[in-house]
Amino acid sequence: MNAIEIRNLTKSFEGQVVLSNVNMTVKQGEIYAFLGANGAGKSTLMKLLFDILKPDEGSISLFSEQVAKKGYNRIFSQIGSIIETPVHYKHLTAIENLQIHCDYVGVHLRQEIPHVLELVGLHDVKDKRVGEFSLGMKQRLALARAFIAKPKLLVLDEPINGLDPMGIGDIRDLLLTVNKEFGTAIFISSHIISEIEKIADTIGIIDQGVMLIQKPLEEIQKGNADLEEYFRHVVIGGRENV
């Protein structure tokens, strides 16, 4: 069973195509890095996964369950996410934000709150209002929220944006731990390619709404190619072919 299966997905805004006939498979337990320049269509695709945007054509399945275009998607209980930016209730403290999250997804998870706060290094500021948090702290809190239910899939849109080098290292270790210990599939987008190279199993490159390539990182590295170099090569090559 695949964690994510996307078939012939097309999406346009006011006549402008932002995703064109995208096919993609994220296998259970793998870390899939989704690379692309700004405006390539990464966040749009992630929003389509959660029915925040409606596809023009094509289908999306999460763990073999088709994402319903309306109403209730039970499978979302198995998915932790950060979509676009780390959003929180600014008037609430870190711990209150997590408590509200648990109220929505399962009150029994409240006992995990101290543990995840410790894990993302926010235990000392748990009673501080999120409105006073830096971007990096908000990212950490969003990750804590995404992890808390030990989901089968993490969908993370630029999760290391705004983090300092120490923070990036911590989050990298955390993602690897979650992936190894719980077999959580991770679908991650980031511009920090050097970090992606350290954790990804599979690389998907999208440009101007077109999926250019999906390959195991190992295969890319076999040719002694540096991922950043490879990314530039694929994107430029893709544009020249258009």
Partner 1 sequence: MFELIKIDWKKYNLKRIPLYFILIYVIVAGMTYSVLNLLGGVLIDNASAVIDLLLKTIFLIVESVLITTIVISEFKDKTILLLYSYPISKQKLIIAKVLLVVLLSLAGILCGQVFLNLMFFGLHKFIPDIRFSITPAEIFSYGFTSVMVVFLGLLPMCIGLVKYSTVATMVTSIIILLVGSNSGLGMDNLIGNSLFTITLGIIGLAATIYSINNLLNRDMKV
Q: In the stretch 98-117, what mask flags binding to partner 1 with x, by CB under 8 A?
A: --xx-xxx------------
By CB under 8 A, is residue 71 in contact with partner 1?
yes
Site string for partner 1, 28-47 (x = CB under 8 A): -------------------x
At residue 143, the 3 state secondary structure works out as helix
Position 15 contacts partner 1 (CB under 8 A): no
Q: Which is nearer to partner 1, 103 or 219 (CB)?
A: 103
Check residue 201 for interaction with partner 1 (CB under 8 A).
Answer: no
What is the size of the binding site for partner 1 (CB under 8 A)? 31
Interface with partner 1 (CB under 8 A), residue from 17, 37, 92, 213: 92
Task: Give the DSSP letter of residue 129.
Answer: B
Structure tokens at 133: 């948090």
> Does 12 help bind partner 1 (rule: CB under 8 A)?
no
When asked if residue 135 is in the footprint of partner 1 (CB under 8 A), the reply is no
Reported for 90-96, long-range contacts at CB under 8 A and 24+ positions apart, including other chains, are 90/129, 90/130, 90/131, 91/129, 91/131, 92/129, 92/130, 93/126, 93/127, 93/128, 93/129, 93/130, 94/122, 94/125, 94/126, 94/127, 94/128, 94/130, 94/133, 94/141, 94/144, 95/126, 95/127
Regarding 239 and contact with partner 1 (CB under 8 A), the answer is no
Dihedral angle at the C-alpha atoms of 140, 146, 151, 154, nearest 10 degrees? -80
In the complex, the residues that contact partner 1 under the rule CB under 8 A are: 13, 47, 50-54, 70-77, 79, 81, 83-85, 87-92, 100-101, 103-105
